[in-house]
Structure 1
Amino acid sequence: MPTTTSVRSTLNHFRQLDGIRFLAVGMVLFDHWMVGRIDGLPLGALGVTIFFVLSGFLITRILLSSKDKLSSQPNGGLGKYLKTFYIRRTLRIFPIYYLTLFILYLINEPPVRRTIGWLALYGTNIYIAITKSWMGTVDHLWSLAVEEQVYLIFPLLLFYVPRRLVPVTAILMIIGSIGLRYVMYRSRMPWFIEYVSTPTCLDSFGLGAIMAYGWLYRREWLVRIFSPATGVWLSIACFAVIVYLNNWIAVDSPRGYHNVVSEVWERFAASLLGFFLIGHAIIGFKGPMKWVLEHPVSQYMGRISYGLYLFHNFIFNVFHTQPTHFTVRAWRRLSDIMPFLHSSYFFQFSFYLALTVVLATISWFVIEKPINDLKDRFSY
């Protein structure tokens, strides 16, 4: 049985993963604020998928390590295993999420008022699937709903599945997820139902789980796979080919961009990119990429990435933000004072980014970090 020290050593912090978080959330913000300027390049979807792969790796690593540590206790330590995991997840995720919902409800944000029950229960993606419609400024919360629903399933799944069958289970998740996307595509369901449903996202989490298994029990295999940068470059090339095929097919397809390539294979290609990117970051990038991922700005932005993602849609969204929204009015007033700001969208983008970073910074230091520090009382 692993000692406490060895368990802790498997749960060490990977510095470059904060840089990966920064890249992923940057893709989402860039995509959501640049709609109409970068058509055909699914950066937002890629960023979210990288987060899913990262979550699959981190929670699988945590849960399997905890299971190993508690295996000699009665019932395999199931009670402490679940208690520790959910307390730590609750401290990290819930406070700022529910505070945000509370404030938006008080100021009468329409979709929050209308769907507060679904939002409170992390059922955003289910609401979208049932109503076959997007929700407005809370659309982006579908991915947080997926994460929470996975957190309900993964702990018990990984506790009861024998260690040797974890890779097989992850492979079945990958195959099942891709297959389900194909079935939903053939059923001609609205594309966004397939996009936001938890079962159709499981290939990302499955790849993350395989990576965690390799880190814990097949370290030499993991090093051989991820040490060369070949996998990163090949996965980037694969994703680029998928994007090119999607755009090419979209010209003549009656379903446009939402054809079989994008609905079935794009997420898997993005998951592979995330798999090799994260895997190489675990081993450690060298050269320019090391500088990017470990730069203080990347590290800081990765640390506050949860707040950046949570708040950015309320600061500005091309599709949903009304001309009377306070951030739009503030921008107009500022640009009227300094007319040169109208010369490039770069200035407007930077304005919204600055507001989001300031808000996420306040959230991190005032709310998230003090509460997050309480996790030390509930160690694995």
Structure 2
Amino acid sequence: MHEIYQRVFGAAKAIRGLDGLRAICVLFVLTDHAGLTKAQETGTLAVWVFFALSGFLIVPILFKARQRVEAGTSDGPTEIVLFMRNRALRIFPIYYLTLALIFLSTVTLVSGDNVNKFYGSVGWILTYTTNVYIGFVRHDWLGPLSHLWTLSVEQQFYVFFPLLFIWLPSRFWRSGMLVSLLVLLVVSCWWVFDDELEFRVNSLSGFYAIAVGGLFGLAARRLGSIDLRFSGLLITALGTVLVLQHLYFILNGHPNAALIIAPLLSGLLIMLLTVCQNSTATRFLEIPLIRGVGVVSYGFYLFHNLLLGPSGRLVALLTGMREGTIFLIMQIATAFVLTMIVSIISFIFFEERLMQLKKRRAPSAVVAAGSNG
């Protein structure tokens, strides 16, 4: 038990604070999907922070890959293969395992109309095009499977972005990212801004949010570590502004405006956390019980919506309650505990072992080809 605790809650990542930020985001998603903060759409805010965080971490990785190509120690095809392999090892196994468990357990995990939603959308879910199905085919959400649309957007970005940017000289990456995110935003607004659902789930809006995070990731790489006075207060204030602007636009009926602004504030927030590693805000996010939720956040995000229903039924069975704020709080607490247990098991016995394969640079033949490029 102590070893499991250390592997999930004990070891800090290279960039401190980001797992804690992930933890807050998945809690926002959980309370939203349970109905407690649905009117405030805290899950939507969390998703846009996740998008910005993905870009913040992934784009600099690809930037380093481009620099290896320019240094002559690798070539474009090799770097693309390595990137795709690493993303596939991190994303595919647990994703498809989750789908397999849903398929085998529809009676207990997905019931009623949700069974038809699953089988009617399975082809889209398997091919990471759930966002297209929700926004442009079904024109409605998919119940407990709705959250899978965000993974589709991210996976699409991981496919298209390397193919385009690995060939761009590194000196043009910052300007290229800026132009790209502006084009993505303008086209998405021109195309579907009047439709809240389509604007939210279409790939271009998601790509814009990821690209914003990527631009801040390149900026953080250039800044390095800085000693900024009152950085903890600044980070806390920025996080508060991020939440307040979201609530303002959501509650006043302008959700798409919130989606445009959130990536900008999220990217800046993530950059400050990264370059101000000694801030009080970073230290707070590094509290083990907070950080540990972030460590298993991918599994938590995948599993939570599938366990909310059973958690509610369990609370109803034990207490007799079926609605109300107290019932929702108990349902959320139960779902949190169950999801953490499942996520930790998945992380320790499945995800972590697969991630070890990422340490392998490449098969010898591929490395040789890259070295000659």
With the length of structure 2 as denominator, give the TM-score of the two structures. Answer: 0.82
Q: Indicate conservation of the 8 Å contact 2:19/2:294, yes or no.
A: yes
Mapped to 1, the partners of 2:144 and 2:39 lie a distance apart of: 22
Q: Deviations over 1:298-335 (max 9, x none)?
A: 2211110001100011112xxxx4xxxx4433222222
Task: Give 3-state SS (helix, strand or coil) of 1:160's partner.
Answer: coil
Q: Indicate conservation of the 8 Å contact 2:154/2:206, yes or no.
A: no
Alignment pair present for 1:29 and 2:22: no
Q: Deviations over 1:173-207 (max 9, x none)?
A: 33223323432456x43x21111111012232122
In the other structure, the counterpart of 1:347 is 330
Q: Of the two structures, which has the highest relative contact order with CA contacts closer than 8 Å and spacing of 6 or more?
A: 2
The 5 A counterparts of 1:268-283 are: 268-283=260-275
Per-residue deviation at 1:103? 1.6
Where does structure 1 lack aligned partners over 5 or more consecutive residues? 1-11, 249-256
2:292 to 300, 306, 315: 300
2:283 to 287, 291, 294: 291
Distance 1:127 1:343, change over 3 A: closer
Task: Give 3-state SS (helix, strand or coil) of 2:81's partner.
Answer: helix
The 5 A counterparts of 1:255-270 are: 257=253, 261-263=254-256, 265-270=257-262
Per-residue deviation at 1:114? 2.2
- Amino acid aligned to 1:156: L
Mapped to 2, the partners of 1:135 and 1:21 lie a distance apart of: 24
The 5 A counterparts of 1:1-380 are: 13-33=14-34, 35=35, 37-38=36-37, 40-73=39-72, 77-108=75-106, 109=110, 110=115, 111-131=117-137, 132-185=139-192, 188-189=194-195, 191-216=196-221, 218-219=222-223, 223=226, 228=231, 230=234, 233-234=237-238, 236-237=240-241, 240-241=244-245, 243-248=247-252, 257=253, 261-263=254-256, 265-284=257-276, 286=278, 288-316=280-308, 321=309, 326-336=310-320, 345-378=328-361
Task: Give 3-state SS (helix, strand or coil) of 2:75's partner.
Answer: helix
Q: Indicate conservation of the 8 Å contact 1:227/1:280, yes or no.
A: no
Q: Indicate conservation of the 8 Å contact 1:235/1:276, yes or no.
A: no
In the other structure, the counterpart of 1:8 is none
Task: Give 3-state SS (helix, strand or coil) of 1:15's partner.
Answer: coil
Q: Indicate conservation of the 8 Å contact 1:92/1:368, yes or no.
A: yes
Distance 1:225 1:173, change over 3 A: farther
Mapped to 1, the partners of 2:176 and 2:55 lie a distance apart of: 13
Mapped to 2, the partners of 1:226 and 1:48 lie a distance apart of: 30
Distance 1:192 1:278, change over 3 A: same
Q: Indicate conservation of the 8 Å contact 1:101/1:112, yes or no.
A: no
Per-residue deviation at 1:292? 2.2
Mapped to 2, the partners of 1:163 and 1:39 lie a distance apart of: 42
Mapped to 1, the partners of 2:326 and 2:28 lie a distance apart of: 24
Distance 1:203 1:219, change over 3 A: same
Mapped to 1, the partners of 2:269 and 2:208 lie a distance apart of: 16
Q: Deviations over 1:69-124 (max 9, x none)?
A: 233448x6112201211111111111111011112112234233222211111010
Mapped to 1, the partners of 2:283 and 2:273 lie a distance apart of: 12
Mapped to 2, the partners of 1:237 and 1:103 lie a distance apart of: 40
Mapped to 1, the partners of 2:176 and 2:47 lie a distance apart of: 23
CA RMSD of aligned residues (A): 2.9
Mapped to 2, the partners of 1:233 and 1:92 lie a distance apart of: 33
With the length of structure 1 as denominator, give the TM-score of the two structures. Answer: 0.80
Distance 1:211 1:352, change over 3 A: same
Mapped to 2, the partners of 1:13 and 1:195 lie a distance apart of: 32
Distance 1:213 1:124, change over 3 A: same
Where does structure 2 lack aligned partners over 5 or more consecutive residues? 1-12, 368-373
Distance 1:225 1:124, change over 3 A: farther
In the other structure, the counterpart of 2:8 is none
Task: Give 3-state SS (helix, strand or coil) of 2:147's partner.
Answer: helix
Moved more, 21-30 or 104-113: 104-113
Q: Indicate conservation of the 8 Å contact 1:88/1:378, yes or no.
A: no
